[in-house]
């Protein structure tokens, strides 16, 4: 059941049009998602670093284990987003999971179409295995997570690591992943008027800008088409009222078919990446706690 606070916030979100409802404005989206959102929790350390020329930011709580590391891949439709915009969510995750969080500023389309962002994420993961928030030190355990486009990249990164015979993380966390760029999910139609964050009208623009001529059914573009055999445990979280809700459902089904330990959470009354909205809704706090439990479970 949705909390009264959650219902009221959902109503307030509907007071303004969802992104893309009045046309696709890449400049506006980039400006919004480049804003710096400082952590709202005391005792959080944020410091910038560089991964072979790629900017990144470490975010970690005083209580976090620097040798438990989460590579978190931001959202933004593969065309926008920044580590600065995700400092608040990363701080909550660091506290809940007791881990250090690395936010890379991976390449964005259309300047850098597929597979540039994916290659950046793979490179960032490999770097994180050996470099921590306090300097060179091999990680004890690692995880990969992300939301929206970053959720799709989370799944694609894990699939690519397996295919290349590279070290796999202990688990993956996909929040509202944009994982079916064919746009065939039924929720695009059923939730089109209910999703307060993203209009279905903007989805073809995201896809066209990102693809760069790639096959939309390539599992590293659309992970719903992946073979998940040999993939570590996965946690999916998605809101009930999301146009891309079915991306999570379909990817979770494929992972289950591949023998993966999968947890799929569809949060009643919730919207796209509800975990990132400040101040946190009660549903967001609970969802973040679930992510913390997932990381702590598989880190031990």
Q: For residues 98-103, give the mean pLDDT.
A: 98
Smallest CA-to-CA distance from 241 within 168, 279, 190 is with 190
Averaged pLDDT score across all residues of the chain: 97
**pLDDT, position 116:** 98
184 SS3 class: coil
Global pTM value: 0.98
Question: What pLDDT band is residue 246 in, cutting at 50, 70 and 90?
Answer: very high
290: CATH? 3.40.50.1820
Rounded to whole angstroms, the Cα distance separating 104 from 70 reads 11
Q: pLDDT tens across 30-39, in order?
A: 999 999 999 9
Total domains, the chain: 1
Q: Which residues face 70 on adjacent strands?
A: 101, 143
CB contact at 8 A, 241 and 191: yes
pLDDT of 1 over the 90 cut: no
Per-residue pLDDT tens digits for 195-233: 999 999 999 999 999 999 999 999 999 999 999 999 999
Domain that holds residue 165: 4-299
Residues with active-site annotation: 148, 242, 272
Name the residue among 194, 262, 211 with its Cα closest to residue 234. 262
């Amino acid at each position: 059941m949705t909390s009264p606070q959650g219902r009221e916030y959902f109503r307030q979100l509907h007071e303004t049009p969802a992104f893309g409802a009045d046309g696709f404005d890449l400049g506006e989206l980039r400006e919004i998602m480049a804003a710096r959102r400082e952590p709202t929790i005391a005792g959080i350390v944020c410091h910038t670093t560089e991964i072979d020329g790629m900017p990144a930011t470490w975010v970690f709580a005083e209580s976090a284990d620097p040798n438990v590391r989460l590579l978190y891949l931001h959202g933004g439709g593969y065309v926008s987003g920044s580590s600065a915009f995700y400092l608040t969510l990363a701080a909550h995750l660091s506290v809940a999971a007791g881990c250090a969080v690395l936010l890379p500023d991976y390449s964005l389309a259309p300047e850098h179409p597929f597979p540039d962002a994916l290659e950046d994420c793979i490179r960032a993961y490999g770097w994180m295995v050996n470099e921590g928030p306090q300097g060179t030190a091999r990680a004890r355990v690692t995880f990969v997570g992300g939301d929206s486009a970053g959720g799709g990249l989370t799944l694609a990164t894990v699939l690519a690591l397996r295919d290349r015979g590279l070290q796999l993380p202990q688990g993956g966390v996909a929040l509202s992943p944009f994982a079916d760029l064919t746009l065939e999910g039924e929720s695009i139609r059923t939730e089109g008027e209910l999703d307060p964050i993203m209009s279905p009208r903007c989805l073809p623009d995201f896809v066209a800008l990102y693809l760069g001529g790639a096959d939309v059914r390539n599992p590293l573009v659309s992970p719903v088409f992946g073979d998940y055999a040999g993939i570590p445990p996965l946690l999916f979280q998605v809101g009930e009222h999301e146009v891309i809700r079915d991306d999570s459902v379909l990817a979770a089904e494929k992972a289950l078919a591949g023998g993966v330990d999968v947890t799929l959470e569809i949060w009643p009354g919730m919207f796209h990446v509800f975990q990132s909205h400040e101040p946190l809704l009660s549903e967001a706090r609970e969802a973040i706690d679930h992510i913390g439990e997932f990381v702590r479970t598989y880190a031990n």
